[in-house]
């Protein structure tokens, strides 16, 4: 790991009241990273979105993540991204957190979208690693990027590492450095490397830095090594059941937790790694939510894929 000095502009940081408050925001719990419903014409379907939100309101989620990877945010315009957050804010019951994805490729665009997301009602922002110039996105670039964003953000920042989509992992030394920033609360880690997750918890234990598992496949293991919650695509479909897994983990009922956890692995893989967002949306339909089609170039499932998806749910007793 590189020995890296804090950037100069960090020197000015003081734990002002707002940031101290921010640092205390408790992220623990389960979040669905909600899908974005579209009409047949591929427009955002705000009405169906609201109907989904009314159903989610009855589930003991800690909050909602808007524009995580499976929200198809790279396919939304900036206006749509903000409007979706505004819509969610209106529907969200008091006491639930709204975490909004505000990551863009450039630092400047991320700073601006972060401000708009806060103005639209986000309680925190989830900032994905920039990734196009992979070869240059080293710890130094990452630390600068996230520090700049966190410096100016009106709401606390959660780091977001999702190598399956970005092709890179936020380096551990960058995570550790950034964990010291007063306006950076934690990380959503979707890579699933449980050794790394345990190490992040271990090395940030004096920082009150909160780690969220980025997938239901390793949620119990992540709790086991010290994560405080999960942002799980599968929570769009089996939200109540994932909250039950949370309850078992936090109350130390690991034997029961294991039985439940293992029934999630295959359906979770189906709606993420194996068949992606189109499968998540199809499964949502089966469970009474509005999923619908994806924006192009994402393609609908083939018949064989739909059967595979159904099998992955039914063989685990969910259908």
Q: CB-based contacts of 175: which residues, under 8 Å, 6+ apart?
A: 159, 161, 187, 200, 204
Q: Is 299 in the site for a second copy (CB under 8 A)?
A: yes
Which one-letter DSSP state was computed for residue 82?
Answer: H
Q: Maximum CA pair distance of the chain?
A: 58
Label the pairing between strands 33-34 and 29-31.
unpaired
Whole-angstrom Cα Rg for the chain: 19
Which positions from 112 to 141 touch a second copy by CB under 8 A, shown as an x/- string?
------------------x-xxxxxx--xx
Give helix 303-314 / helix 254-269 axis angle, nearest 10°. 170
Q: Which is nearer to a second copy, 97 or 309 (CB)?
A: 309
Would you say 100 or 200 has its CB closer to a second copy? 200
Exactly one of 105, 115, 151, 244 binds a second copy (CB under 8 A); which one?
Answer: 105
Least Å distance, CB 31 to a second copy, is 19
Nearest distance in Å: CB 17, a second copy: 29
SS3 assignment for 279-307: HHHHHHHHCCCCCCCCCCCCCCCCHHHHH
Q: Which stretch binds a second copy (CB under 8 A): 48-56, 152-160, 177-185, 268-276?
A: 268-276
Tokens (6 digits) for 306: 């739909």
Contact between residue 25 and residue 185 where contact means Cβ atoms under 8 Å apart: yes
Task: Figure out which of the listed residues 81, 86, 145, 181 binds a second copy, where binding follows CB under 8 A.
Answer: 145
C-alpha 161: how far from chain center: 9
Judged by DSSP in three states, 211 sits in strand
Nearest to 98 by CA among 85, 110, 115: 85
3-state secondary structure of 216: helix
In the DSSP assignment, the letter for residue 38 is B
CB of 192 to a second copy, least distance (A): 6
Question: Is 231 marked as binding a ligand?
Answer: yes
Spacing of C-alpha 126 from chain mean position: 7
| Smallest distance from a second copy to CB 286, Å | 20
Question: Which range in 29-37, 92-100, 239-247, 272-280 contacts a second copy by CB under 8 A?
Answer: 272-280
Could you say which residues in the range 13-72 bind a second copy, by CB under 8 A?
Answer: 42, 69
Residue 2, interface with a second copy (CB under 8 A)?
Answer: no
What is the footprint of a second copy within residues 164-203 (CB under 8 A)? 164-165, 167, 192-195, 198-199, 201-202
Known catalytic residues are 160, 188
Instruction: Pick out residues in 205-264 that bind a second copy (CB under 8 A).
Output: 215, 217-218, 220-221, 224-226, 252, 254, 258, 261-263
Residue labelled with tokens 């293992």: 262
Residue ranges binding a second copy (CB under 8 A): 42, 69, 74-75, 77, 105-109, 130, 132-137, 140-142, 144-145, 148, 164-165, 167, 192-195, 198-199, 201-202, 215, 217-218, 220-221, 224-226, 252, 254, 258, 261-263, 265-266, 269, 273-274, 276-278, 295-299
Residues contributing to the annotated binding site for pyruvate: 231
């Amino acid at each position: 790991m590189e020995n890296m000095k804090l950037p100069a502009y960090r020197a000015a940081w003081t734990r002002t009241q707002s940031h101290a408050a921010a640092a205390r925001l408790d992220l623990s719990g389960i979040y669905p990273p909600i899908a974005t419903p579209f009409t047949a014409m591929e427009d955002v379907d705000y009405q169906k979105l609201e109907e989904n939100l009314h159903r989610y309101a009855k589930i003991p989620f800690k909050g909602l993540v808007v524009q995580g990877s499976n929200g198809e945010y790279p396919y939304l315009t900036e206006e749509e991204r903000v409007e979706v957050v505004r819509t969610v804010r209106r529907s969200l019951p008091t006491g639930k957190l709204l975490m909004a994805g505000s990551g863009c490729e450039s630092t400047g665009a991320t700073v601006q979208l972060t401000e708009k997301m806060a103005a639209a009602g986000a309680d925190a922002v989830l900032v994905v690693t920039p990734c196009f110039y992979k070869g240059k996105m080293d710890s130094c670039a990452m630390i600068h990027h996230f520090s700049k964003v966190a410096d100016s953000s009106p709401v606390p920042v959660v780091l977001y590492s999702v190598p399956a989509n970005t092709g890179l992992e936020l380096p551990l030394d960058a995570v550790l450095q950034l964990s010291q920033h007063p306006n950076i609360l934690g990380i959503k880690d979707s890579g699933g490397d449980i050794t790394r997750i345990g190490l992040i918890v271990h090395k940030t234990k004096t920082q009150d830095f909160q780690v969220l598992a980025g997938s239901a496949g390793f949620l119990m293991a992540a709790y086991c090594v010290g994560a405080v919650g999960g942002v799980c695509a599968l929570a769009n479909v089996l939200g109540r059941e994932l909250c039950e897994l949370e309850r078992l983990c936090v109350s130390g009922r690991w034997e029961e937790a294991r039985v439940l956890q293992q029934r999630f692995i295959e359906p979770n893989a189906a709606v993420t790694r194996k068949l992606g967002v189109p499968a998540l949306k199809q499964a949502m339909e089966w469970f009474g939510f509005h999923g619908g089609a994806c924006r192009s170039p994402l393609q609908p499932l083939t018949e064989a894929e739909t059967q595979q998806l159904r099998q992955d749910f039914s063989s685990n007793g969910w259908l």
